[in-house]
Amino acid sequence: MMRLKATGMPIAGMQAFAALRADGQPTMGARRDLLVAHRDAVLARIAELQINLGAIVDKIAYYEAAAQAPVADRSTRHTDEPQALSHQEKDSP
């Protein structure tokens, strides 16, 4: 159960798994199905986090480039640069 908690399984899912496990061998398929569904949810969350990480990396690159630009260029880069970001973020840096 601690492993399921560590993977982010909701309490209701852990309770369902524990109830199935208590019922023994006949529930092996249902336990597997529950774990497959949880795996799929974790994979979806990882994909979402990877997209968010890409946005963070892009934002860091923008600020690093802005810091390297001559002071005179910074005012024009500020308005032009966010449109060039690969994640097409809507908020201004």
Nearest 5°: the CA angle 26, 32, 34 is: 110
**Rounded CA separation 63/70 (Å):** 13
Say if residue 86's pLDDT is above 70: no
Q: What is the pLDDT of residues 35-56, one digit of tens each?
A: 999 999 999 999 999 999 999 9
- Identify the pLDDT of residue 88: 46
Q: Taking a C-beta distance cutoff of 8 angstroms, is the pair 50, 60 a contact?
A: no
When pLDDT is averaged across residues 66-90 and rounded to a whole number, the result is 59
In this prediction, what percent of the chain has a pLDDT beyond 70? 76
Beta strands in the chain (DSSP E): none
Q: Where are the domains of the chain?
A: 2-84
Residue with tokens 């336990």: 31
**Rounded CA separation 87/58 (Å):** 7
- Identify the pLDDT of residue 87: 46
Which of 15, 13, 20, 18 minimizes the C-alpha distance to 39?
13
